[in-house]
Structure 1
Amino acid sequence: MALKGDYTGIHAHGKAAEQLQPVDGEQQTRVKVYRRRWLMLLMYVLFSMSNNWQWMQYTIVGNVVRKYYNVDNFAVDWTSVIYMLASVPFIFPASLFISKKGLWLCLAVGSALNAAGTWLKAVEAAGAVARFWLLFAGQTLGAIAQAFMLPVPPALAFIWFGPKEVSTACSLGFFGYQIGVATSLLVNPLLVRDHENIEDIGHDIRVSAYGVAAAATAILLLILFFFRSRPPTPPSSAALDRANAAPDRMLSVVRRLLHMCNFLVLLSAFSLSYAVLNAFATLLNPVILTYYENGEEFAGTVGLVLIIGGTVGAVICGFILDRTRRFRETVLVVYTLFLASLAAFAVVVHLGNRALVYAVISVMGLASGGFIPVAMEFAAELTYPEPESVSAAFLTAAGQSAGVPVTLLHGWLLEAAGHGWAHAALCAQLAAGLLLTACVRPDLRRTRAYQRRPTTALVQ
């Protein structure tokens, strides 16, 4: 039996190419998972870390950037907002790359754009005159590169990993996203400091820019020479079914997804949660400063705890999904925890007890960070056999698009009506998302495909 796609041309010689064997008159597929799958995941995580380091690179040291480039708060804020906006129109072309051309080309284009953006900022930093527009152009390239990064985790997990580890692999794929932001929040203020002498600030910015550019270039070379789109042999019966399926037009895939009511309900719930998280994280600093005098450092630490909690939550949720396959129950639990911790934050932030704030933010991080990969995997289950990259693109585009107006509305409410009303609006939005999530039926199509055919996974 010849396999379609990248699995064609595997010949029956040696241990690396065991094919279909007759069992009781039927064909039993001997599928394999390869040790190199962890290398593929690691290269993606490094790319994600490099790209997301740049997301908050300038806003976290906004006072220094404003002083050096002689720009206002609005200009500096846009170095972060551009990441939410620029990726949206490019995320569907990126998912098309994955479906039609494979993971390698998608990540090669993304990492090339990422490296180009870092070197553009390095060239700007090396100039005798500070040019903010050139820095912003580099930041925009990085934002576009993010579109080629975001739909990858569920697709990479499905293509390279076995049924009992696919959700864990997807969750680990988001590890780089979280760690990139967290290390940027922690390290950038140490690299770029406020000095009386403008030239000293310029020196710090150059050192930071050169370091990020060197790392991005090394990651680009790793992906170009060592990354592979898929293994020689499929890792699961569901992946084999996908390989045997006739290629389909992207427009047809999109049309079918738009007619899946179950998926659209999850999409709406995800966009509400993602938008609330973006708004809360973006405006965390002014909220903390409202209740804690000279609390800039405290606000930064709270943001760091939120992100680290999200990293831990994502990994834990992925592990739980692989062991239980309880997608609906897991997503309901993390959504409920997110809502409860968001409401609790409105109470504890008034009390002046920093330990309580850290405790509540830790729970919020676990819940909100865990929700993202769980929703991605749940969407892949609901929409199988459609490509995971397309459902992930839908979720990401909806979340990013909703994040901008919700963040702007939250900021306006914060100034016009105060923190209480602004926070209540976020809680109401999250409660609506929880109700929508409860309406999603657990139609686990991909899990049924995993169980449809007896399989033997051989690790090598």
Structure 2
Amino acid sequence: MEKGGALVGEGGHVTRLYRRRWLMVLLFSSYSLCNAFQWLQYGIISNIFIRYYGVSALAIDCLSMSYMLLYIPLIFPVTWLLDTRGLRIIALIGSGLNCLGAWIKTGSARPDLYPLTLCAQLICAAAQVFILGMPSHLASVWFSSTEVSTACSLGVFGNQLGVAVGFLLPPVLVPNIEDQDSLSSHIRIMFYGTAAVATLLFAMVILVCHGLSLRQTTLGVYVFSLVGMVVFTFTLDLGHLWIIFITAGCLGFFMTGYLPLGFEFAAELTHPESEGTSSGLLNVSAQVFGLIFTTAQGQILDRFGIQAGNIFLCCFLLIGAIITGFIRSDLRRQRANQEVAQAGALQYHTDLREMPTPLLASDP
């Protein structure tokens, strides 16, 4: 039961809600932004770095792919560390590795130091493993049950904004970019910039749609993502840049805005397992499918063109929407929180009734 700035839990135990919990989310979002920025900072202007380091396109692609490849083997020990040692050690290691990788990159800005750049990127990729699983766990530990979704969305927001900044800053800072790369980067900026805004807005969606089940909201956003992908696919060849920007923005709004909903729904379905475990498994599946779809999409683009590749993605989004429709809305964490709150409230009022009445001054 919430009482003022505290929570009354089982046995009347009072857990305070500290005001600095919002500062904690802000700090996490900040270094999550810094880490996400470094994911694609080389790939977005790959033609420049190919010439600068004198390496192949595959070598530059490896810098961004390292984030996906390193996540899969490291997530299991990191999840164990999160469950056994807590948020503090995870936050310190993640932010420390991110800072170290960034400084090494600064020292690797020489044409003969590509191996050092790769080493620095691997360090930042390792930091990502510590960072990505934190939002849902941070929200669960520091916030009340009515604030969990908002806090999780704020945590995810930092990562999405970092990706958008990663697409925006390199083209601005490095002027000699080919037109095709510039157009591609603008579309990606629109996608991820809108996605960052959507991450915050969907925190409000969860609150506004309190009467709907989390399953209905999740399914609705998934279906809109599918519709957005279909519209984007069949308007891409119309030759109007403003249409591409609008459809890419709408697609990013729903597709990446799905992230906080997915984290929250997974935490509800897998309770009492740790939020770090559920979010870690979700991120692992994202990395695995990301590698599979990136490879398959590249082959389809080379052989059949852009539209065929996008139709391929639409088909799998349709399959995902159908599967989501069959998921039961078993909100275990909410039910457990309500039971604990009710038990705590009952114990709290019982203790008040059983307290001895103080003697009056007129009593003998």
* TM band (smaller chain): 0.7 to 0.9
Q: Which residue of 409, 425, 446 maps to 2:296?
A: 409
Q: How does 1:26-41 map to 2 (within 5 A)?
A: 27-41=11-25
Q: Quickly say closer, same or farther: Cα 1:16–1:374, change in 2 above 3 A.
A: closer
C-alpha distance in 1 between matches for 2:85 and 2:291 = 31
1:189 is displaced (CA, Å) by 2.1
Is 1:162 aligned with 2:144?
yes
Structure 2 residue corresponding to 1:320, chosen from 196, 200, 205? 205
Maintained 8 Å contact 1:64/1:193:
no
Is the CA contact 1:314–1:370 (under 8 Å) kept in the aligned structure 2? yes
Quote the sequence identity (%): 34
Give the whole-Å Cα distance in 1 for the aligned partners of 2:141 and 2:275: 10
Single out whichever of 357-366 and 116-125 deviates more from structure 2.
116-125
Larger radius of gyration: 2
C-alpha displacement of 1:372: 1.2
Aligned counterparts, 1:4-153, within 5 A: 27-125=11-109, 130-153=112-135
Distance 1:165 1:407 in 2: 36
Q: Is the 8 A contact 1:341 1:364 kept in 2?
A: yes
Q: CA deviation at 1:353?
A: 1.3
Unmatched 5+ stretches in structure 2: 346-364
TM-score scaled to structure 2, two decimals? Answer: 0.88
**CA-atom RMSD, angstroms?**
2.1
Residue in structure 1 matching 2:284, options 397, 420, 430: 397
**Counterpart residue identity of residue 365, structure 1:** G
Alpha carbons 1:317, 1:330 under 8 Å: kept: no
TM-score, normalised via structure 1 length = 0.70
Q: Which of 187, 195, 200 matches 1:310?
A: 195
1:192-231 Cα deviation digits (max 9, x unpaired): 3449xxxxxxxxxxxxxxxxxxxxxxxxxxxxxxxxxxxx
Is residue 29–residue 155 contact of structure 2 (8 Å, CA) maintained in 1? yes
1:31-430 matches, cutoff 5 A: 31-125=15-109, 130-194=112-176, 294-323=179-208, 324=210, 326-430=213-317
User: Residue deviations 1:217-270, cap 9 Å, x none?
Assistant: xxxxxxxxxxxxxxxxxxxxxxxxxxxxxxxxxxxxxxxxxxxxxxxxxxxxxx
1:124-156: per-residue Cα shift (whole Å, max 9, x none)? 22x6x5211110110011011100001100000
Following the alignment from structure 2 to structure 1, what is the Cα–Cα distance between the partners of residues 129 and 292? 20
Looking at structure 2, the residues matched to 172 and 27 of structure 1 have their Cα atoms a distance apart, in angstroms, of 32
Q: Aligned partners of 2:183, 2:175: CA distance in 1, in Å?
A: 17
CA shift at 1:367, angstroms? 0.8
Superposed displacement of residue 424, structure 1: 1.4
Other-structure match for 1:218: none
Offset of residue 17 of structure 1: 9.0
Structure 1, residues 105-140: CA drift from partner, whole Å, max 9, x if none? 011111121122122222222x6x521111011001
Letter in 2 for 1:306: F
Q: CA offset at residue 99 of structure 1?
A: 1.0
CA positional deviation for 1:29: 4.4
More helix by share: 2
**What displacement does 1:174 show?**
0.8
Q: After alignment, is 431-440 or 307-316 more displaced?
A: 307-316
Can you give the 5+ residue segments of structure 1 that lack an aligned partner in the other structure? 1-14, 21-25, 196-288
Q: What SS does structure 2 have at the residue aligned with 1:411?
A: helix
Q: Deviations over 1:300-321 (max 9, x none)?
A: 1111111011112211222222
Contact 1:341 1:360 survives alignment (8 Å): yes
